[in-house]
Structure 1
Amino acid sequence: MSVKFTSNEIRYIALFETVTNAVVKDCIVDDEHDRVTFLVKKGDMGLAIGKRGSTIAKMQKSVDKSVEIMEHSDDPGEFIKNLLSSAKVNSVEFTTDSKGNKIATLDVDSKDKKNAIGKNGQNIQRARQFAKRQFEISNIIIN
């Protein structure tokens, strides 16, 4: 599945790749929460963050927004765990509903559900966006 980027996302990706030398697989710009989230190629997290977070700090200053970085994976289960890394995800199960939509059901520690969902559902919403764009997963359900 190929992702179609807006011109705004393309500008952010170009800047991020220039500043960090990391390869960006996807990008979501959230103007409502003043945040840009980059999905980087597996193994490029170190480049993206930089020594003691220097690269990410430089990027945040350049875009005047909060910058988040997540690591891509070709395995959908690992990918979803990476997206919700602030929570302990014990397992990911994939099913298909009657309409043929792929659904990911997560077993998350009860004490970490708040982190997985995020303030006003921001974390789970972003995870659903990336999962839809990268793996055509229609929904993520947290148990």
Structure 2
Amino acid sequence: MTVTLSDEARQCIVAFEEVTDTTAVDCLVDDDHDRVVFVVKAGEIGSAIGPGGRNVERVEDELGRDVKLVEDAPTPEGFVANALSPAAVYNVTISENRDTVAYAEVAHEDRGVAIGEAGHNIELAKTLAKRHYDIDDIQLT
């Protein structure tokens, strides 16, 4: 999948990578929720967060917005699970009929976290899954 970045997203990636010394493979500037979402190279999420969340705080200060991090994954199932984090996702199954749908088995007590306030978290996960794996929808089971 080819991901197209806006000029603002590219500028945010430069700032993020300078502060965290990690690699961002994607960036979404979410003006509706005043946040920037970075997809971080697999295996680098801990370094991106930094001790006690220090790197995220520094990036937030520099950008003047909230920052959310999602760890990249080599499989669509792993990516969907990471995109729904911090919800506990037990299993993800991809179904390819007319549309490609990811069915994510989420812990009952974490369904609210996976959905987020007014559906913001699941909508973000759907957007990222579409950008990276051409997944049309995510359903929680």
Match of 2:51 in 1: 51
Deviation at 1:48, TM superposition (A): 1.0
AA in 2 matched with 1:102: T
Find out whether 1:80 has 2:80 as its counterpart: yes
Please identify runs of 4+ aligned residues in structure 1 that moved more than 2 A: none
The DSSP-based 3-state class of the residue aligned with 1:43 is: coil
Deviation at 1:89, TM superposition (A): 1.4
AA in 1 matched with 2:63: V
Q: Which runs of structure 2 are paired with 1:25-104 in the superposition (5 Å)?
A: 25-98=25-98, 101-104=99-102
Match of 1:111 in 2: 109
Deviation at 1:106, TM superposition (A): 1.3
CA contact (8 A) 2:13 2:24 kept: yes
The DSSP-based 3-state class of the residue aligned with 1:129 is: helix
Gaps of 5+ in 1: none
Distance 1:112 1:50 in 2: 25
Q: Deviations over 1:113-143 (max 9, x none)?
A: 1111000001000000110000011110112
The DSSP-based 3-state class of the residue aligned with 1:42 is: coil
Q: Deviations over 1:48-107 (max 9, x none)?
A: 111222111111100110011111001111111111122121211111233xx2110112
Find out whether 1:133 has 2:127 as its counterpart: no
Superposition CA RMSD, Å: 1.0
Deviation at 1:46, TM superposition (A): 2.2
Match of 1:6 in 2: 6
AA in 2 matched with 1:97: N
Q: Deviations over 1:22-58 (max 9, x none)?
A: 1011111111111111000011112211122211111
TM-score (norm 1): 0.94
The DSSP-based 3-state class of the residue aligned with 1:137 is: coil
Distance 1:54 1:107 in 2: 32
AA in 2 matched with 1:20: T
The DSSP-based 3-state class of the residue aligned with 1:32 is: helix
Deviation at 1:8, TM superposition (A): 0.8
AA in 2 matched with 1:14: V
Deviation at 1:16, TM superposition (A): 0.6
The DSSP-based 3-state class of the residue aligned with 2:18 is: helix
Match of 1:22 in 2: 22
Which moves more between the two structures, 1-10 or 48-57?
48-57
